[in-house]
């Protein structure tokens, strides 16, 4: 049985790269690779113990990139049953310090969907390539993302990437090739959206729904009443616009767990 991510999130502790790997201890490992001359550092997160291969989760963080908070979230998502890769979408020379820098970094990637897809796909390739070195089952991989990351994993899906599931938390739903590419998605798709999100308005939601209805993709969209953007982010405090909502966050992570339980059967 996959342990509840929502329960794990309540037990977050700072991540430390251990010198030993006692059972249950968190393990982090940086994967360093290059794309067109730019260096990227994505981070593996899992808990030590047991040799049985586990499903993998590609996690694309919000526009702030691979922060300590993103690594802590990855540890919660990993629990004892999964291996997570926190994806670096910007390269090591771009680490936003505030929302202005994050907006510029995310905007540059959003403006070139080919680059967005290529960077996410390379991270997925690097992730699968670690099977055998870490307890990862390369044939059972899902992708999840938050805000900018949610839009990224949906875009990765539209590239035809081999994934079991894609889950977007308060992510971007618009894409310049949405109608053209939506049907290329091979994964089951779950979109978790704040019904009052001013940054991803209902116009975008309805365009997404229309595009998905024209496909054979197995998809779901859940809208949470009273929730706005960034509802899973405890640091989000822009009232009425981007704000943490404990109840909605708990429900959203429960929906993630339910979908992964469905596609992986508890990891068996």
Predicted confidence (pLDDT) at residue 128 exceeds the cutoff of 90: yes
Predicted confidence (pLDDT) at residue 22 exceeds the cutoff of 80: no
Residue 21 has a pLDDT of: 66
Average pLDDT taken over every residue of the chain: 92
Which residues on adjacent β-strands are paired with residue 46?
Answer: 27
Residue 2 has a pLDDT of: 42
More confident position, 20 or 82: 82
Alpha carbon distance 252, 3 (integer Å) = 15
Architecture of domain 5-12+26-267: 3-Layer(aba) Sandwich (3.40)
Residue 266 has a pLDDT of: 52
pLDDT category at 11 given cuts 50, 70, 90 is very low
State pTM to two decimals: 0.91
Predicted confidence (pLDDT) at residue 238 exceeds the cutoff of 90: yes
- % of the chain residues with pLDDT over 70: 91
Alpha carbon distance 78, 3 (integer Å) = 9
CA distances for 151 relative to 98, 99, 166, 200, 241, angstroms: 20, 18, 10, 11, 18
Q: Which residues contact 251 (CB under 8 A, 6 or more apart)?
A: 224
Residue 20 has a pLDDT of: 53
Predicted confidence (pLDDT) at residue 18 exceeds the cutoff of 60: no
Question: Is 6:250 a contact under the CB 8 Å cutoff?
Answer: yes
Every domain of the chain and the residues it spans: 5-12+26-267
Which residues on adjacent β-strands are paired with residue 229?
Answer: 242
pLDDT tens digits for range 170-219: 999 999 999 999 999 999 999 999 999 999 999 999 999 999 999 999 99
pLDDT tens digits for range 134-153: 999 999 999 999 999 999 99
DSSP H stretches of helix in the chain? 5-9, 68-78, 99-110, 113-128, 148-158, 178-181, 202-213, 246-264
Q: Which residues contact 46 (CB under 8 A, 6 or more apart)?
A: 26, 27, 54, 78, 82, 83, 84, 134, 135
Residue 4 has a pLDDT of: 56
């Amino acid at each position: 049985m996959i342990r509840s991510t929502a329960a794990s999130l309540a037990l977050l502790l700072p991540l430390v790269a251990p010198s030993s790997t006692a059972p249950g201890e968190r393990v982090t490992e940086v994967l360093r690779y290059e794309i067109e001359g730019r260096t990227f550092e994505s981070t593996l997160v899992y808990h030590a113990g047991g040799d049985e291969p586990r499903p993998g989760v590609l996690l694309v963080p919000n526009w702030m990139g691979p922060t300590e908070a993103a690594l802590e979230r990855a540890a919660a998502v990993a629990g004892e049953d999964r291996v997570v890769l926190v994806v670096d979408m910007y390269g090591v020379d771009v680490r936003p310090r505030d929302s202005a820098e994050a907006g510029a970094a995310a905007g540059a990637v959003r403006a070139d969907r080919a680059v967005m897809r290529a960077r996410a796909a390379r991270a997925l390739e690097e992730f699968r390539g670690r099977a055998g070195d870490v307890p990862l089952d390369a044939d059972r991989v899902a992708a999840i993302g938050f805000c900018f990351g949610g839009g990224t994993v949906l875009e990765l899906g539209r590239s035809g990437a081999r994934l079991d599931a894609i889950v977007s938390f308060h992510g971007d739903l618009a894409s310049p090739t949405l109608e053209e590419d939506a049907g290329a998605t091979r994964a089951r798709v779950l979109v978790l959206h704040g019904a009052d999100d001013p940054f991803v308005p209902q116009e975008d939601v309805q365009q997404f729904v229309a595009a998905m209805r024209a496909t054979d993709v197995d998809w779901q969209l859940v809208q949470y009443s009273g929730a706005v953007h960034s509802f899973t982010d405890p640091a989000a405090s822009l009232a009425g616009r981007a704000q943490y909502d404990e109840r909605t966050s708990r429900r959203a992570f429960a929906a993630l767990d339910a979908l992964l339980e469905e596609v992986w059967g508890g990891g068996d």
